[in-house]
Amino acid sequence: MTLTEEYLLLQKLTELSADKARFGALPKPAEKVPAENPACGDSLNLYILLDKAENKILKVHYDGEGCALSRAAAALLTKHLEGKSLSEAKTITPGTLYDLIGVQIAPARANCALLPYGALESYLKNYV
């Protein structure tokens, strides 16, 4: 990766991680789903509000502490999930999140990028 590419990556992640449109807890009946990356100390919560009658995700927010990459991934995933059915949410893969991020992620940073995906996976397994 050239210095220019690294700069553009850093600029994009900084902009995305600063997006606070979906940052902050949602009140009950939203489910709070925690996720942690013990390797680096990042932690976040997804808050998912589901219309159970329609099996549709109405709102998704996040909060927590983490690097720019985990915060950017959380901002992108929460935006992507809103309005999706549970069936659609179940089709989301790590590749989906990498596509949303839009830049190549080094293997050493994969856990950071996939932290919100881990929370989504937990929600789909344990809360639905």
Q: For the chain (length 128 residues), average pLDDT per consecutive 10? A: 68 75 92 94 96 96 92 94 97 95 86 96 92
Which residue from 17, 86, 16, 75 is spatially nearest to 50, judged by alpha carbons?
Answer: 86
Tell me the domain boundaries of the chain: 3-126
pLDDT of residue 11: 78
pLDDT, residue 12, reads 77
pLDDT of res. 1: 60
What pLDDT was estimated at residue 104?
A: 80
Q: Any idea which residue has 């991934």 for tokens?
A: 73
How far apart CA 12 and CA 17 sit, in angstroms, is 9
Model pLDDT, residue 103: 79
Q: What is the CATH number of domain 3-126?
A: 3.90.1010.10
Q: What is the CA radius of gyration of the chain?
A: 14
Tell me the HSE value of 48 on the side-chain side, using a 13 A CA sphere: 32
Burial group, residue 121, by CB count within 10 angstroms (0-12, 13-18, 19+): middle
Q: What pLDDT shows up at residue 78?
A: 96
